[in-house]
A and B are shown apart, each in its own frame.
Chain A
């Protein structure tokens, strides 16, 4: 995995003609953003924050997608347990 990451960083840096350090900085920013979104959605799904707060933090589309997924998963679990 570490070798894969190193090779990918090198390939991206070469393709964009920028320093590898810049690619690593961008990767860190994107990674933290993804983890932040996961955290906000988790808090919303677990009723730790309200809907409007979640929308303010990660956007309406992501919140609606999580709500739709939750509806589907709950429906599937109920079906599996009762069919």
Chain B
């Protein structure tokens, strides 16, 4: 049973490659109200309306570490901590903060691979989406690193 809370990164990056629906691979998706407001400041991905998710309030005052993150990332971290949920973020600093708090954290690539593992995508489609994350979105990631991830996926049984 995977309950995950998303910050804006995976929602935006997966939308940029037309793959918001892979978020249905998790068993329960939480979106902090703060994150939703950040999306509304731009454009809420229309495909989000096809997903089941719960809008939740966050209480960042409960966090015990000094964070230098934006409000959405902080809210997502607070919800993950409060609900023992997996944090979904593509931000390296947010990942570090989650690790400091012993919160399980993964990103868009993890969600795509999970969707493959749960038979929502073929292996080739998952590889295609991973490559698209690098070439077609605002996510900064070195291309050879993505290719390494794809090799790991392709060599899995």
Residues of chain A at the chain B interface (Cβ within 8 Å) = 38, 41-42, 45-46, 65-66, 68-70, 72-83
Chain A residue at minimal CB-CB distance from B109:
A76
Q: Does B103 contact A (CB under 8 A)?
A: no
Q: Are A46 and B109 in contact (CB under 8 A)?
A: no
Contact A76 B144 (CB under 8 A): no
- CB within 8 Å of A: which B126-157 residues: 141-149, 152-153, 156
Bound Cα distance from A46 to B148, whole angstroms = 8
Within 8 A of A (CB), among B95-132: 95, 106-107, 109-117
Q: Which of B16-75 contact A (CB under 8 A)?
A: none
Separation in Å of the A51 CB from the closest CB of chain B? 15
Residue numbers in B under 8 Å from A41 (CB-CB): 142, 144-145
Closest-CB distance, A44 to chain B (whole angstroms): 8
Kindly state the separation between the CA atoms of A75 and B112 in the bound complex, as whole angstroms. 13
When the two chains form their complex, are residues B106 and A79 in contact, meaning their CB atoms are under 8 A apart? Answer: yes
Interface size class, chain B: 20 to 34
Residue from the set A45, A66, A72, A75 with the largest chain B CB neighbour count within 10 Å? A72
A83 touches B92 (CB 8 A): no
Q: A38-B143, A83-B2 known; A73 and B106 CB under 8 Å?
A: no
* Residues of B that sit less than 8 Å from A by CB: 2, 92, 95, 106-107, 109-117, 141-149, 152-153, 156
Main secondary structure of the interface of B (DSSP, over half): helix
**Alpha-carbon gap, A18 to B149, bound state (A):** 44
Query: Chain B residues with Cβ under 8 A from A76's Cβ?
Result: 106-107, 109-110, 113, 149
Task: Show 25 A/B contacts (Cβ-Cβ < 8 Å), sorted by A.
Answer: A41-B144, A41-B145, A42-B142, A65-B142, A66-B144, A66-B145, A72-B95, A73-B146, A74-B148, A74-B149, A76-B106, A76-B107, A76-B110, A76-B113, A77-B109, A77-B153, A79-B110, A79-B113, A79-B114, A80-B109, A80-B111, A80-B114, A80-B116, A83-B114, A83-B117
- Name the B residues within 8 Å of A46 (CB-CB): 144, 148
Closest to B143 in A: A38
Among B92, B109, B142, B153, the residue within 8 A (CB) of A38 is: B142
